[in-house]
Chain A
Amino acid sequence: MLPYDDKAKFGEYAHPEMIVSTEWVATHLDDPGLVVAESDEDVLLYDTGHVPGAVKLDWHTELNDPVTRDYVDGAGFARLMAAKGISRDTTLVLYGDKNNWWAAYALWVCSLFGHPDLRMMDGGRAKWVGEGRPLSTEEPKRPHTDYPVIGRDDTRIRAFRDQVLGHLGKPLIDVRSPGEYTGALLHMPDYPQEGAMRGGHIPGAKNVPWARAADADGTFRSRTELEAIYAGEAGLGPDDDVVVYCRIGERSSHTWFVLRYLLGYPNVRNYDGSWTEWGNSVRVPIAQGDNP
């Protein structure tokens, strides 16, 4: 197991072991037991140059089941990890573009399989590049590993539609843009929409756009700032049973990471069906406008 990053900012978070800085990654890049993985919204970005030695985790083609709307199963995840050269005891550091948006999604999926040592590189790809650190276009050749088949645990951090129906009245956070939240976006002319029949939000959900958790340089805001947003404005607390959602569950993975590991709220689930399921479902309640 690799040492934790003892940066003072991280020490304030509830789980400092879940986050490392670009400096830390640069220092430990060649350490055995570490694999760095890039997961981007733009699936070509990795190929233009990546952290030397980093593998690519493609959210679209590798983490999802190709037929059913679901993630890979335990056997599929084991095959994927083995092919990337990741063992069950590997320290897996994730990073990506857009404030680590998709890296958070990949980290959430890896968490469904309980990979023991997952960490996020604060600031992601943009910070690494901005600091002038080396990039490589060479695809690393890591030896295949023998990753065990671990069943996916959908009970702790994942919520399904019927569970969300039963959750109405309890804390819900909609992390989409205000226009998507109010329902206004579905009514703009000539814009191909993101596959939902109805616009609006799940009744009771408060709107906290996901990117508010990130600073201008893409790093996570300090614990004090995050508490002002999520505890202060949204009124969440560590005893709450919280469900977060967005369009397909990617942006809300980022908020899930913030609530679960930076603020340390134990009961946070990501509803990955999100608006593309809810907004297409028959007879589920929908609220429109600015109010929850």
Chain B
Amino acid sequence: MTAAALHPRLQEIAEDFDAVPGKERLQLLLEYSRELPALPERYAGHRDRMQPVPECQSPLFLAVEVDPDQTVHLFFDAPAESPTTRGFASILHAGLDGLTADEVLATPAEFTSRLGLQDLVSPLRLRGMAAMLGRVKRQIGEHRGGLAAAAPARARTP
């Protein structure tokens, strides 16, 4: 079975992880955790305007904005003492922010398993990342739901 194609930006991230051996992947994840963009003023200190992701083992909040031209903007907030969670959020930000809603929705749920982190990070952790992606897609579905009666089912978390 061939795996579903990734958007070139995500594909590049997956290849970067694939290119480094074993434990160095954690260093790459750590670099991502440092690069998670700070929140803009409208979200900083306003977790009530964001959505919690309880599947993550550490606190994570996200917000999704969709422009009229369907460009998606992602905002994540996780504490500095949760670098793994920040790293996952940062990967999704680097891979998906600025894509169109259709492109984000087309991201396969099993993308998280293509980073070669299974042996380094616990399955529960990786599920947390899959849950982040699931919630991003669901929120996009909800944005659309306001416009048309598009079935949001495909954007649901498995």
A47 at the interface (CB under 8 A from B): yes
A47 contacts which chain B residues (CB < 8 A)? 26-27, 30, 83
Interface contact B158-A44, CB-CB below 8 Å: no
Tally A residues with Cβ within 8 Å of B: 16
The answer, yes or no, to whether B156 is at the interface (CB within 8 Å) is yes
Question: Is B145 in contact with chain A by the CB < 8 A criterion?
Answer: no
In the assembled complex, the Cα of A48 lies from the Cα of B82 at a distance in Å of: 10
Are B131 and A192 interface neighbours, CB within 8 A? Answer: yes
Q: Give chain A nearest CB distance to B155 CB in angstroms.
A: 11
Q: Tell me if A212 counts as interface (CB < 8 A to partner B).
A: no
Decide if the interface of chain A is mainly helix, strand, loop or mixed: loop
Complex Cα distance, B130 from A44, in Å, reads 19
| Cα(A45)–Cα(B81), bound, Å | 7
Interface residues in B, total, Cβ within 8 A: 27
Segment with Cβ contacts to A, from B9-17, B39-47, B97-105, B116-124 = B116-124
Residues of chain A within 8 A (CB-CB) of B54 are 191
How many Å lie between the Cα of A190 and that of B27 in the bound state? 32
- Per the bound structure, the CA–CA distance linking A191 and B130 in Å amounts to 11
Q: Is B113 an interface residue (CB 8 A)?
A: no
Report the bound CA distance from A48 to B119 in whole Å: 20
Tell me if B33 counts as interface (CB < 8 A to partner A): yes
B140 at the interface (CB under 8 A from A): no
Q: Does B29 contact A (CB under 8 A)?
A: yes
Minimum C-beta distance from B112 to chain A (A): 12
Q: How far, in whole Å, are A4 and B56 apart by their CA atoms in the complex? A: 38
Residue positions of A touching B, CB distance < 8 A: 41-45, 47-48, 60-61, 66, 97, 126, 190-192, 194
**CB-defined A-B contacts under 8 Å, sample of 22:** A41-B57, A42-B82, A42-B85, A43-B26, A43-B120, A43-B122, A44-B30, A44-B33, A44-B87, A45-B81, A47-B30, A47-B83, A48-B83, A60-B120, A66-B119, A126-B81, A190-B157, A191-B54, A192-B55, A192-B130, A192-B131, A194-B124
